[in-house]
């Protein structure tokens, strides 16, 4: 994926060379010194791949980053289970099975002990996870929140919907479209869950607790993109062909959160993402109310409520992992924080934005910058999520045994502070730019190629 800093790979990976000097100094606890800035926006130069959705948060999310280069222990032999993969005898976390590298990334990293833990959780998953789901006949459906196409009053209802959304500003619409596009890329997220060792749906209709969860979670999530898509279509405020092109391109590109086929890592990732999505949709609802669009406020508020239930499910899974495997759970949490949480839509592209705006412009970066600027999802939100999860899982008191896990535990206890320091620098710069009247903008095809401020 393109990046706002030198050295960020196409996969969205983060290595020390990808971080700006300011980020490296802050995250190591050293004096920051002068911060390099983007010539386009004046923002801190940080890799955009490590946070959903703000690009300025990514170095914070990637504190003490690790490289994803193959180990010097590589044997050069290949794996019969994963064609093209390279076998490494032992990993940094003392895993008790060979570690594989494929295309420069670690794959199938779950240890034999970890596999035993996940297998032992099957009964727990079958008993606990259904509590966080609602049957189709007892949950809201998109048609309930939109004009009824079978009603004789349909056209009047559409007119009322359009009138309610008439005052939504362009920057808000850009973020709303970006959120909808992210929701519509649901096939990629189901695909992600079905890459996981021990929890994947092996047949597409497997009768296991984990497979049941994946399918029913996906079914609930499908309503989110559906209702947002229909709302935007009826609103007449956005270029739907451009939006639809973006969705198709994003699904075709997939996503790469670097989960290593490892459910430990994935469930940390989804715990974070569901909370982030809840915050984002909640703030979208708040702003819709402010702009006088009550129907939009209602539907985005309901989406946020769904995300809250899903967050509770994924955090419960990680809590159970930590209870059964304290060291492994803490190491997984720290590993994902060091990598950084990538936005699900980090490969978003409409085929127009970069060429039209020049200066190394990137649709993901610009959409994320707008979301941060209007307060839908900010660097401080990222820090708050880290802090929340550390408290929710009581990381300070997890009874780890190994020195490596103890180091990871200490890292996690300080991680949100590092991010807040970067957030403060970002906000100070933004306020200075606004006071000085600086303006940076990009044209977005989603809103008929009109300019939207990035400050």
Active site residues: 140, 183, 221, 224, 274, 277, 306-307, 310
Q: Which 3 state secondary structure label does DSSP give 184?
A: helix
Q: Which 3 state secondary structure label does DSSP give 99?
A: strand
Number of alpha carbons in the 13 Å side-chain half-sphere of residue 75: 13
- Which pairs from 194-199 meet CB under 8 Å and 24+ separation? 195/259, 195/261, 196/259, 196/261, 196/262, 196/263, 196/266, 197/108, 197/110, 197/115, 197/118, 197/261, 197/262, 197/263, 198/110, 198/115, 198/118, 198/119, 198/263, 199/118, 199/263
For residue 66, what are the CA distances in angstroms to 48, 282, 340, 345? 16, 33, 10, 23
Pairing mode of beta strands 105-107, 74-78 = unpaired
Q: Residue 133: is it exposed, middle or buried by C-beta count within 10 angstroms (0-12/13-18/19+)? A: middle
Dist. CA 101–CA 70, nearest whole Å: 7
DSSP 50-82: SSSS-GGGHHHHTSS----PPPTTEEEEE-SSS
Dist. CA 269–CA 389, nearest whole Å: 11
Dist. CA 346–CA 50, nearest whole Å: 9
| Inter-residue contact 333 to 412 (CB < 8 Å) | yes
Dist. CA 442–CA 290, nearest whole Å: 25
State the CB neighbour count (10 A cutoff) for residue 407: 15
Dist. CA 251–CA 245, nearest whole Å: 10
């Amino acid at each position: 994926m393109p990046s706002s800093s030198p050295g960020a790979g196409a996969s969205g990976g983060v290595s020390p060379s990808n971080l700006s000097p300011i980020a490296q100094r802050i995250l190591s606890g050293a004096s920051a010194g002068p911060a390099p800035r983007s010539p386009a926006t004046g923002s801190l130069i940080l890799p955009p791949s490590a946070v959903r959705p703000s690009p300025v948060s990514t170095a914070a999310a990637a504190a003490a980053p690790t490289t994803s280069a193959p180990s010097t222990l590589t044997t050069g032999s290949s794996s019969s289970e994963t064609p093209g993969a390279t076998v490494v005898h032992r990993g940094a976390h003392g895993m008790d099975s060979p570690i594989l590298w494929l295309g420069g990334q670690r794959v199938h990293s779950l240890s034999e002990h970890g596999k035993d833990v996940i297998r032992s959780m099957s009964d727990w998953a079958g008993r606990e996870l259904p509590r966080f789901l609602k049957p189709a006949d007892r949950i809201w459906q998109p048609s309930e929140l939109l004009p009824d196409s079978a009603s004789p009053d349909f056209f009047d209802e559409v007119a009322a919907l359009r009138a309610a959304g008439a005052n939504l500003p362009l920057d808000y619409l850009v973020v709303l479209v970006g959120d909808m596009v992210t929701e519509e890329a649901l096939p990629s997220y189901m695909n992600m869950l079905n890459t996981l060792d021990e929890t994947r749906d092996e047949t597409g209709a497997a009768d296991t607790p984990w497979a049941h969860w994946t399918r029913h979670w996906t079914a609930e999530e499908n309503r989110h993109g559906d209702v947002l898509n229909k709302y935007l279509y009826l609103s007449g405020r956005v270029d739907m062909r451009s939006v639809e092109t973006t969705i198709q391109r994003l699904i075709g590109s997939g996503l790469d959160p670097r989960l290593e086929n490892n459910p430990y890592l994935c469930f940390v990732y989804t715990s974070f993402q569901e909370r982030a999505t809840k915050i984002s949709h909640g703030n979208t609802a708040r702003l819709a109310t402010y702009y006088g669009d009550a129907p939009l406020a209602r539907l985005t508020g309901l989406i946020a409520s769904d995300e809250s239930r899903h967050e509770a499910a994924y955090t419960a899974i990680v809590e159970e992992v930590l209870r059964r495997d304290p060291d492994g759970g803490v190491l997984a949490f720290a590993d994902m924080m060091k990598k950084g949480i990538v936005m699900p839509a980090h490969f978003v592209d409409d085929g127009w934005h970069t060429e039209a705006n020049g200066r190394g412009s990137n649709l993901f970066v610009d959409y994320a910058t707008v979301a941060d600027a209007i307060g839908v999802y900010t660097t401080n939100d990222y820090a708050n999520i880290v802090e929340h999860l550390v408290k929710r899982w009581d990381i300070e008191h997890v009874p780890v045994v190994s020195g490596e896990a103890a180091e990871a535990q200490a890292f996690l206890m300080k991680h949100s502070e590092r991010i807040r320091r970067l957030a403060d620098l970002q906000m100070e710069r933004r306020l200075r730019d606004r006071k000085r009247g600086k303006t940076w903008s990009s044209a977005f095809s989603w809103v008929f190629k009109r300019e939207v401020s990035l400050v």
